[in-house]
Amino acid sequence: MRRRIGPLTVRLVEGDICEREVDAIVNAANNELWMGGGVAGAIKRRGGGEIEREATGQGPIPIGESLVTGAGELKAAHVIHAAVMGRDLATNADYIRRATLSALARASEFGLRSIAFPALGTGVGGFELTDCARAMLDAVGEHARGKTTLEVVEFVLFGRAAYDAFADVVGRK
């Protein structure tokens, strides 16, 4: 599924974010930036431990903020670590919205043209998919109203339920 939001092309993809050939993929991070399970664990396993070492060397960061590292062996050039939770691994719509905005801003600061997000906070954080989709797409809409270097924002969704939840929200935008 594809949709325009301002100057941005938003694409929904069901699949593995580690396989995306984009300028940056987003890690659903905790504010300490250790990469244990979920999307973070997959990125670390596929891209290499240097991604976590580089991230933790710059952290911790406040919940709702993000930072950029290299991507190791991944196809993407960068990983943007968006802190959607703290040590308690709990999240909410505000954390997800702020972390999404921060990741988009970091991508634009680095002059990137494409970025791929997972459904932030819905794995380890246990946040509901439809509410996540609303928070993230609202953030994309807010970002699209300002200056950006981004052209493509992908949501790479693991499983049909995640894809359908995002497709439903995108269809209403």
List pLDDT tens digits, range 47-59: 999 999 999 999 9
> Which amino acid would we find at residue 172?
R
In this structure, how many other beta carbons lie within 10 angstroms of the beta carbon of residue 62?
12
Cis status, amide bond into 62, omega within 30 of 0: no
CA neighbor of 122 nearest in space, from 169, 72, 71: 169
Topology of the domain covering 2-172: Leucine Aminopeptidase, subunit E; domain 1 (3.40.220)
Residue with the bigger pLDDT between 124 and 142: it is 142
How high is the pLDDT of residue 173? Answer: 59
Domain boundaries, given as residue ranges, for the chain:
2-172
